[in-house]
Structure 1
Amino acid sequence: MSQKLNLGDLIEIDRRGYQHWAIYVGDGYVVHLVSADGSRPNTSFSLSASTKKALVKKQRLSEVTEGNKWRVKNKHDNKYSPKSRQEIVQSALQMVGKKIDYNVVTMNFEHFANNLRYGRYECDQVIRGAGILGAVGTVLAATAAFGFGVMRSLGRQ
């Protein structure tokens, strides 16, 4: 895939079951999170199950994508003012080599990248997941209430 890349761009990488996120820092390199123990997650949830720490790494974009589709996705630029490109890159490069706490809900790949670009820990994958779980919960609650009502009315006859 060939797209014009600018310093500080958010890169979204398709992986099986989730999207991986990175920050473009120039010359074909990105900064992103990997498992501190070297394992690669199969889904967005498996990294949190296997480790509580992530390592900030600088790698060639071509290595990180592993042949998967990717895109520039500065998705919150219309909602938040991004930091300057130089500040994003400088912050990202200062993090390289550090181990940080990892949590799929509060500090994952997307939180990390969004914080570098916007100064905000935000993750649409978590928000979407919470919305789906909320909808499922609502359906289950409605089903249970309906079933209770039917059972109650049958008991009165």
Structure 2
Amino acid sequence: MAPSRRFTADEGGYAQPGDLIEILRPAYQHWALYLGDGYIINVTPVGDVAPGTMSSTKSVLTRKARVRMQLLKDVVGEDKYRINNKYDSCYAPLPVEEIIRRAERYIDTEVPYDVLASNCEHFVTMLRYGEGVSNQAKKAIGAMGAAVVAAGAISLLGFAMGRSREKHN
């Protein structure tokens, strides 16, 4: 259950309210938004028994996510993390009070989830900037496109080689 207190923009500590937190998982990055006082907001698969962890397999298969407020240390576990407001040069962050107010409205709700179009990074950047952005998704889409092109080239090459053998026989 979420504490009833509200977070404010003047809380101290290394991470500041409204900061994007990138959690470096073995196969992907999980994103959260720092609220203050050690708490973050993030999305997890609906029905996940361990809400601090979003397995990459389950996140690919789910279509909904639950927004949770959790302690950063519980979500990070043994993984490394960093503050990464990497989009600040492209998008102006909203005022911190507005970021926190927007985030608090989502706590304990379900939201649509799609690993390529509406993932954890999209969610927290939408809170910080008013627009959902995910370079992680763009890279995945680019990799899939490259794989499709490579598969097509291999098929075309195989077809051409087969035709060439037919002509020589």
User: Would you call these one fold, judging by a TM-score over 0.5?
Assistant: yes
Match status 1:91 vs 2:133 = no
**d(CA) in 2 for partners of 1:67, 1:123:** 24
The answer to which structure, 1 or 2, has the higher relative contact order (CA under 8 A, 6+ apart) is 1
**Equivalent residue, structure 2, for 1:9:** 19
Q: Secondary structure at the match of 1:121?
A: coil
Contact 2:23–2:31 (Cα < 8 Å) also in 1 = yes
Distance in 1 of aligned mates of 2:109 and 2:72: 19
Aligned to 2:30, the other structure's residue is in SS state: strand
Question: What secondary structure, in the 3-state scheme, does the structure 1 residue paired with 2:31 have?
Answer: strand
Kept in 1, the 8 Å contact 2:116–2:138? The answer is no
CA contact (8 A) 1:48 1:102 kept: no
Per-residue CA distance 1:98-153 (angstroms, 9 max, x = gap) = 11122222221111111111112222222111111111222221122222222222
Would the aligned equivalents of 2:42 and 2:67 in 1 still touch at CA under 8 Å? yes
Q: In the TM superposition, what is the alpha-carbon distance from 1:48 to its structure 2 partner?
A: 4.2
State the match for 1:22 in structure 2. 32
Aligned residues: 153
Contact 1:17 1:42 in 2 (8 A): no
1:126 pairs, out of 137, 142, 162, with 137
Q: Letter of the aligned partner of 2:29 in structure 1? A: Q
* Identity fraction in percent: 35
* Cα RMSD after superposing both structures: 1.7
- The residue type equivalent to 1:55 in the other structure is R
Where structure 1 has 5 or more consecutive residues not aligned to the other structure, the ranges are none
Task: Report the secondary structure of 2:24's partner residue.
Answer: strand
| Matches for 1:1-150 after TM superposition, within 5 Å | 4-39=14-49, 40-43=53-56, 45-49=57-61, 51-150=62-161
Q: 5+ unaligned residues in a row in structure 2: which ranges? A: 1-12
Give the drift of 1:65. Answer: 0.7
Q: TM-score, normalised by structure 2?
A: 0.82
8 A Cα contact 2:69 2:107, kept in partner: yes
Q: Residue 33 of structure 1: SS of its match in structure 2? A: strand
Match of 1:155 in 2: 166
**What is the TM-score normalised by the length of structure 1?**
0.88
